[in-house]
A and B are shown apart, each in its own frame.
Chain A
């Protein structure tokens, strides 16, 4: 019998907020789980030792902070801000359109009981993922977004997570329920101001009901010494569209999990990612798409630029169930290593049980195209500018997947 070993991370946490059934259940589950080691297949290339050993502080009141475009993208969106994991009324917009529900946890659990009943914690993999179970056990703040039937939100909802103190730990939760024929775009930013050694453990559940469309842009621009674990669990019903773009421009330790269950026919799913680590930073993108029903299409493009001694991991799993015929699933991962000491571990995994499918995957990791650099130099573009031009060109393919122009520009500026 496995018993969860104590560590500084666990000792830093205390259960706050409402006593909720789901929380208590997850807490019991957690006791029987283990933190991953290098022997855990899904964590082979990502060690969590460093983040478990640290001592953290948990906040329950929002700090004041000024947010400039330098820290998080200033978007024409409805902002909802969590500082050190705690909702800040002061920094958030309260003028959401009447037809939608945007509320904060734990308050939402009491006020929207019927809406939340069948969704909250419904698809979180508490029994498989220790950091998800940890989040469910200890989360005390977060955001609930409900878009009712046929409502199409013009502006995006921007959920901003910002750390302003060092050694902050926060377990934040986001629940998005998009009802039939609704449309919503959510930007999730993770940033920090003068904070070091923080750990943000975020779990997002997304329900994309029939004919609905949800787009998530995840922007991770943590200061270099911070740690981030982001798990996104998605359930798609028939004729729905889901797209998630993840841009990681900084962060000492970043682990992204995106798991999509495509549980209806004629769905489109898209996962894109761009990561640009420096120094000794580490980024890990684990994606899993399970095609459970026929006639669906999924696209996946992850690209990375790794400098110095940084390391990257890409693990993309595509599962096509026995009866899920006529699936088209495309996956690509491309990396440029800017230094001899940078490392990339790329692993595509296909598990296909249906026989009438079109699936492709490819992964490349290489250096700069020296021929291209010389060519540009002979036209009067300095070596440095030539490299910049080539990195931009490489990254543009992913950045172009982001619908918002202002966000595209923001990410491009962070490339330098």
Chain B
């Protein structure tokens, strides 16, 4: 076991991360380390900084990092703009996927894949290969042809939007995926489909951070580590059983300790 652990690639190392929106400090010294092949769950009550963590990692403008470092595969993540982070293999599944009228789902993915290929000085993807990939990956989350060709997320139901996020994740083949509250607004069937997609995409070479409020999703996507985020810091880390404990006892017993 230990020899396997040693051979794992360090993917993400967040050290003493502080971030704020406007004058309001939200992350206050957050530490987390993720290696290839692992699934990490970040749980916490509302307002603890979960969405800020995903936004900062993805490179959203409105968040200002005031202290700390983030090492991603040997690179200083915070120096990269959002598209460079994507090209380097990072993926964020949005809690609220954005609707983009007039931009077709398929064209947008083709553009995305080709921009990354350009970054790595590769030729654009052949139409045949692209279509084959679309067919294979959309089957994974049972996304219909109709939805694939429609404008990005326009007229999609809540569940369809989340399945579309995982479809995009499958197409972009990320190294590190961050799922931000992917379970919110999902019924049990959609949840199963989404979880099946994520589990199928899991390999020893990639890693996933699942950000969630509830334990429910973790019945389907089994985490190796569970972190509790509270007031901008990780206050407890444990195995998958910690999620069950939180489900049973809530967050109070931990946050009171903290206070």
A interface residues with partner B (beta carbon < 8 Å): 369-372, 374-383, 385, 389-390, 392-394, 396-397
How far does the alpha carbon of A241 sit from the alpha carbon of B116 in the complex, in Å?
47
CB pair A380–B103 under 8 Å, yes or no, is no
How far does the alpha carbon of A393 sit from the alpha carbon of B94 in the complex, in Å?
22
| Chain B residue nearest in CB terms to A377 | B82
Q: Which residue in B59, B82, B98, B172 is a CB contact (below 8 Å) of A372?
A: B98
CB-defined contacts of B92 to chain A, threshold 8 Å: 378
How far does the alpha carbon of A396 sit from the alpha carbon of B103 in the complex, in Å?
10
**B58 is an interface residue with CB less than 8 A from chain A:** yes
CB-defined contacts of B58 to chain A, threshold 8 Å: 378
How far does the alpha carbon of A389 sit from the alpha carbon of B103 in the complex, in Å?
7
9 A-B pairs with least C-beta separation: A393-B102, A380-B86, A377-B82, A375-B98, A379-B112, A380-B112, A380-B116, A393-B103, A377-B83
CB pair B108–A381 under 8 Å, yes or no, is yes
| Residue among A379, A383, A393, A397 with the highest chain B CB neighbour number at 10 A | A379
**B142 is an interface residue with CB less than 8 A from chain A:** no
CB pair B98–A380 under 8 Å, yes or no, is no
How far does the alpha carbon of A11 sit from the alpha carbon of B96 in the complex, in Å?
63
CB pair B115–A372 under 8 Å, yes or no, is no
Q: How close is A78's CB to chain B, nearest CB, in angstroms?
A: 34
**B238 is an interface residue with CB less than 8 A from chain A:** no
How far does the alpha carbon of A392 sit from the alpha carbon of B102 in the complex, in Å?
8
Q: How close is A366's CB to chain B, nearest CB, in angstroms?
A: 13
Q: Interface readout for B92-107 with A: 1 if CB under 8 Å, 0 if not?
A: 1010011011110000
CB within 8 Å for A390 and B82 given contacts A376-B108, A380-B112? no
CB pair B108–A371 under 8 Å, yes or no, is no
How far does the alpha carbon of A381 sit from the alpha carbon of B112 in the complex, in Å?
5
CB pair A379–B102 under 8 Å, yes or no, is no
B interface residues with partner A (beta carbon < 8 Å): 58-61, 81-83, 85-87, 91-92, 94, 97-98, 100-103, 108-109, 111-113, 115-116, 119, 151, 168, 172
CB pair B172–A379 under 8 Å, yes or no, is yes
CB pair A381–B115 under 8 Å, yes or no, is yes
CB-defined contacts of A369 to chain B, threshold 8 Å: 98, 100
CB pair A378–B102 under 8 Å, yes or no, is no
CB pair A393–B83 under 8 Å, yes or no, is no
| Residue among A379, A380, A382, A389 with the highest chain B CB neighbour number at 10 A | A380
Q: Which residue in B100, B101, B151, B172 is a CB contact (below 8 Å) of A380?
A: B172
CB pair B111–A378 under 8 Å, yes or no, is no
- The contact sample of 21 A-B pairs, CB cut-off 8 A, is A369-B98, A372-B100, A374-B82, A375-B94, A375-B98, A376-B108, A377-B81, A378-B58, A378-B91, A379-B108, A379-B168, A380-B86, A381-B83, A381-B112, A382-B115, A383-B83, A385-B115, A389-B108, A393-B102, A394-B102, A397-B102
How far does the alpha carbon of A7 sit from the alpha carbon of B113 in the complex, in Å?
59
CB pair B81–A383 under 8 Å, yes or no, is yes
CB-defined contacts of A376 to chain B, threshold 8 Å: 100, 108, 112
CB-defined contacts of A390 to chain B, threshold 8 Å: 100, 102-103
CB pair B115–A375 under 8 Å, yes or no, is no
CB-defined contacts of A397 to chain B, threshold 8 Å: 102
CB pair B83–A380 under 8 Å, yes or no, is yes
Q: How close is A72's CB to chain B, nearest CB, in angstroms?
A: 27
CB pair B102–A396 under 8 Å, yes or no, is yes
How far does the alpha carbon of A370 sit from the alpha carbon of B81 in the complex, in Å?
15
CB pair B172–A374 under 8 Å, yes or no, is no
> Besides A371-B98, A396-B102, 7 other CB < 8 A contacts?
A369-B100, A379-B86, A380-B113, A385-B115, A390-B102, A392-B102, A393-B100
How far does the alpha carbon of A378 sit from the alpha carbon of B85 in the complex, in Å?
7
How far does the alpha carbon of A389 sit from the alpha carbon of B107 in the complex, in Å?
10
CB pair A380–B115 under 8 Å, yes or no, is yes
How far does the alpha carbon of A377 sit from the alpha carbon of B58 in the complex, in Å?
9
